[in-house]
Structure 1
Amino acid sequence: MRFAVISDVHGNGLALDAVLTDIAVQGVDATLCLGDHVSGPMDPGAVAERLMGLSGSMIRGNHDRWVSETEPDALDPVDGFARAKLAPRHLLWLSGLPDTAVFNGEVFLCHGTPQSDTEVWLDNYWQGRQSTLPDPDTILGHAAGIDYPIILCGHTHIARSVRLPDGRRIINPGSVGLQLVHGSPDARYAIIERRAGRWLTSIRVVEYDCAAAARQAVANGFKQWAPALATGWVGPEGLF
């Protein structure tokens, strides 16, 4: 079994197209999606259309939940922009996505942690460019009762793989559409496969026209997104 994992596209159609093109030559059996699909000031509608055409398990993130369930006048500016750019069929699709899922009886999907789509798991929230790994007890606590060899999460936009003492792996593939504190604007996703009884994970880094994505954000009235999209050096402060 060999599959791709994408997360946190955040409405960045240029980054998504580059990643899907790369996935197409990887020989995967499915592409799994971990949420926060559309909330970004680039091209939310195009992202929704592309993701709706994929096969493979797909869940929603906290921003997907807010966009599809919150009254428009109560949304923050970025989520409000995304909702305004989505057709009714896109909103119906988002509202129908589950919070968690299981793929092929072996892979558990969540956005933040199994208990919450807003909690962070493998990384604490940033302070400027710093992010710290939580203590082992915190990581293990969120994994309690999740009896699958592969556990997937997103939300922090930082790619990381953690192996628990019992052999379970928790993997965050990073973000397709919005790089934070990486020092690189390139899109990220994961390829995971089981080979000869062993699980292997690789994080792929894909170049795309990040300057064009930054220009889209500026043209749509969100110039504060441009440094993150164009450089990948900055933290999330002030983006949402």
Structure 2
Amino acid sequence: MRFAVISDVHGNAMALDAVLADIAGQGVDATLCLGDHVSGPLDPAGAAERLMGLDGPVIRGNHDRWLAQGRRDDRDLDPTDQFARRQLSATQHAWLAALPATSVFENEIFLCHGTPASDNVAWLDDWYYDRKTTLPSEQAVTAPAEGIDYPVMLCGHTHIARSVRLRDGRMVVNPGAVGLQLVHGSPDARYAVIERRDGKWRTSLRVVEYDHHAAAQQAVDNGFLPWKQALATGWADASGLF
């Protein structure tokens, strides 16, 4: 069993195309997607079109939930989400609204966006402080996995690629972001390949080059200059983007 795992496309169809092309050469059985699909000032409808054709489970992220509801938890949608919402067709809106918060695949792989209990809480990395991100304590990482009786647990949300193996052997994997690199120091797209071999699950965290300068220019052309640095360099944090 061999699967690709993608997350946090954020409307970046150029990055998604590059990742899907790389996945095509990996011999995977399906591609799993962990949410935050369209919220970005690039090509939300194009990204949705591609993701709707995937052959594996797709769940929602916090931005997908907000877009479907028409507002964030505590306020109206910000300009980036408003832009994405305007670009989607009625069919794409319906698809987004119908996505589940979590899923289980092949009775072995648990999918969530943030943590099993929340799509807006970070699991494997603390949020960014002064452009730095750190692995939380062992207790903080282990606690959300309590009661999740699957050998592989997948999450996204932080845009930071990381694979952690708990002491009981269960694995927690964040594939990183396809469409928006934050505090990575690289603009290249990220995803993961997970594989069960000899009865044990293994992770490969992959980095894919794409025309990030064209993506940055697309955001600028759509009126979102603050996205330029993040897309073009991968050094920025999330401040001012959403």
**With structure 1 as the length reference, what TM-score do the two structures score?**
0.98
Q: Is the 8 A contact 1:2 1:27 kept in 2?
A: yes
Which residue identity does 1:187 align to in structure 2? A
Percent identity between matched residues is 67
| TM-score, length-scaled by structure 2 | 0.97
Alignment of 1:1-240 (within 5 A): 1-70=1-70, 74-240=76-242
8 Å CA contact retained: 1:33, 1:58? yes
Q: CA-to-partner distance for each residue in 1:193-218, whole Å, 9 max, x for gaps? A: 00111211101100000000000000
Alpha-carbon shift at residue 71 of structure 1 (Å): 5.0
SS in 2 for 1:92: helix
3-state SS of 1:63 partner = helix
SS at match of 1:192: strand
Q: Which runs of 5+ in 2 are unaligned?
A: none
User: Matched residue of 1:223: which SS?
Assistant: coil
Q: What do residues 85-123 of structure 1 show as CA deviations (whole Å, max 9, x unaligned)?
A: 000100100010000000000000000000000000000
Residue 64 of structure 1 aligns to which amino acid in structure 2?
D
Q: Please give the per-residue CA displacement for 1:59-80, whole angstroms capped at 9, x wherever unaligned.
A: 0000000011125992110000
Amino acid at match of 1:58: V
- Structure 2 Cα separation of the partners of residues 151 and 164 of structure 1: 11
Q: Contact 1:176–1:189 at 8 Å: present in 2 too?
A: yes
The answer on whether the counterparts of 1:151 and 1:169 sit within 8 Å (CA) in structure 2 is yes
Q: What amino acid does structure 2 have at the position aligned with 1:15?
A: A
Query: Separation in 1 of the partners of 2:131 and 2:97?
Result: 33
What are the Cα deviations for residues 29-57 of structure 1, in whole angstroms up to 9, with x where unaligned?
Answer: 00000000000000000000000011101
Separation (CA, whole Å) in 1 of partners of 2:236 and 2:77: 24
Q: Which deviations, in whole Å up to 9, do the C-alpha atoms of 1:139-164 show, x marking residues without a partner?
A: 11110000000000000000001110
Distance 1:185 1:130 in 2: 16
What is the DSSP-based 3-state SS (H/G/I as helix, E as strand, rest coil) of the residue aligned with 2:124? Answer: coil
Kept in 2: contact 1:112–1:153 (CA 8 A): yes
Letter of the 2:2 counterpart: R
Gaps (5+ residues) in structure 1? none
**Partners of 1:142 and 1:196 in 2: CA distance:** 27
Tell me, yes or no, if the aligned pair for 1:128 and 1:234 is still in contact at 8 Å: no
4+ residue runs over 3 A deviation = none
